[in-house]
Amino acid sequence: MQSTDNLLHRLKELNEIGIALSQQRDLNSLLETILVAAKRITHADAGTLYLLEHEQQTLRFEILRNDTLKTAMGGTSGVPITFYPIRLYDDNGNPNHAMVVSHAALSGETVNIPDAYVAQGFDFSGTKGFDAKTGYRSQSFLTVPMRNHENEVIGVLQLINAKDQESGAVVPFSSDDQQLSESLASQAAIALTNRHLISQLEDLFEAFIQLINTAIDDKSPYTGGHCERVPVLTMMIAEAVNRTTQGPLKDFVMTDKDRYELKIAGLLHDCGKITTPVHVVDKATKLETIFDRIHLVDTRFEVLKRDAEIAMLKEIVEAGEGTQRAEAARQSYSARAVQLDQDREFLRICNIGGEAMSEEAQQRVRQIAIYQWRDTDGKAVNFLNDVEVENLTIRAGTLTAAEREIINHHIDITIKMLESLPWPRHLKNVAEYAGGHHERMDGKGYPRGLTRDQMSVQARVMGIADIFEALTAKDRPYKKGKTLTESLNILGKFKLGGHIDPDLFDVFIREKVYLDYARQFLAPEQIDDVDLSKIPGVNLDS
């Protein structure tokens, strides 16, 4: 009766182990759980778990435990296993059946040995050498191949020295021990295979994401860097919020699944840019499309100067050399040439995007625009056409309103792409997180005009990450990367203006996320000494 009760207890324990294995996500923890569980249900003093390396045709030590010697290697112990892998075949390709673990892997059969020192057919010289060095006595062995759902051996579980529960003496592994171990090994192999399959699918999924980002990067190296940095900064901010113990966000907590979901959202937050025209994304100057049209304007200035020179020479010929009229013509031409050179230099400066173009500068562009010149058909036309005037009078940056709409449309495409995917439950929020990084807390953002209360913390985190990366980015075609002080000044004004989440800004400052990010991604000249007392919106008491 006691034996039956004990067996039922062990079966119940085996069932509980199976449930635990199915829930374990970390591979090292999973491997350790398998070995520790096998030792417990068989009352083994020691054990080793090996995984099969198919390409190398070896068994690699993964986890090693010995209670008597108080040895723990591999897994979560932090102590690496330095033993060489066990070869399944020799140099001539002959199978290695001399070693009990390689025999189990090759044959797929369990090997139960009561005493290694008297066993026949296997080479235990390595075991005896280990015992001689440590004073240990390796006696009973239970070596179980681990088969997955396709009946393939993926590893070997070896247990050493079963112990009698009452006397503590080393005894052979019983038939019940063998059956339970084989059942556990089967469950463990399936759990391991599932974990590998999930990891492979995750790797494949992330590789597809990187494929999209590579395509964007190939179109534009500037957005490629952005796609790389924003996910990193997003996770840095989220982790800072996760560890904060004060303020309105102190109860925000992320699990590993939450972290993975946010990471994927960060990687995909600009995937819609794959449809954005390159000449808009990379527009470094106001007149740039496929090429910078400022060179066409330069040519027109040369035409105007040539026309002015021709007019001067005609006037001199008509008036006669040395006359007052001829001298006046020369002076008029000289003044006109200087004016044209000044106008050309002015338009070149206007062509470079800036923070804010003055109304006076915009008006001067319009005045230059009405100069007359003859086009290729000999027709008198305005010096600048309407499109060129529109571009050269852009108040900030290099994009016209229409081009900015094209850029902004990428978020609509991003949301459309992400919402069309059949996300699994643990990634169901990716579209919401990624699609909200251009929204504002006051509802004036795009594309949906969401307010703070309508957005998740993660989407608001991504909004700050996107802005701060853009401010500090040193690889944009139209601007230099700002210093920390300049960037935090703008970010602080955004907080006060209802653009970004004020609580997240406080965490961003308090946890010095900006400095951690700067040390990783900013140029040394950008990392200046920040006086937080002078940054708008900073609450030094928070």
Residue 471 has pLDDT above 50, yes or no: yes
pTM comes to: 0.66
Q: Residue 235 has what pLDDT?
A: 97
| Tokens 């996300």, located at residue | 423
* pLDDT given for residue 479 in this prediction: 63
**Could you tell me the sign of the dihedral formed by the alpha carbons of 392, 394, 395, 396, in that order?**
negative
Instruction: Find out whether 145 and 106 touch, Cβ atoms under 8 Å.
Output: no
Name the region of 173 (left: φ>0; alpha: ψ -120 to 50; beta: rest). beta
Which class in CATH covers the domain with range 220-276+403-534?
mainly alpha
Query: What pLDDT score was predicted for residue 48?
Result: 93
Quote the DSSP letter at residue 61. E
How confident is the model over 303-345, as pLDDT tens digits?
A: 889 888 999 999 899 888 888 888 998 999 999 999 999 999 9
In 24-57, where does DSSP find H-type helix? 27-42
Q: Look over the chain and give the mean of its residue pLDDT values, rounded to a whole number.
A: 87
The string of pLDDT tens digits covering residues 427-441 is 999 999 999 999 999
Helix spans in 244-270 (H): 256-268
Q: How far is C-alpha 457 from the chain's CA centre?
A: 19
* Separation of alpha carbons 170 and 231, rounded Å: 55
- Amino acid residing at 326: A
Which of these, 434, 466, 470, 435, lies nearest to 449 by C-alpha position? Answer: 435
Is 295 a residue whose pLDDT tops 90?
no
Across the range 138-145, mean pLDDT stands at 95
Where along the chain do its domains lie?
2-197, 220-276+403-534, 294-398
pLDDT tens for each residue of 156-173 = 999 999 999 889 999 999
Question: Would 2-197 and 220-276+403-534 be classified into the same CATH topology?
Answer: no
How confident is the model over 248-290, as pLDDT tens digits? 999 999 999 999 999 999 999 888 888 877 777 666 677 777 6
d(CA 342, CA 304): 13
Write the CATH number of the domain with boundaries 2-197: 3.30.450.40
Of 205, 265, 202, residue with least CA distance to 237: 265
* pLDDT score for 500: 96
Q: What is the model's pLDDT at position 285?
A: 75
Query: 3-state class of 136 per DSSP?
Result: coil
The residue with tokens 């010095």 is: 512
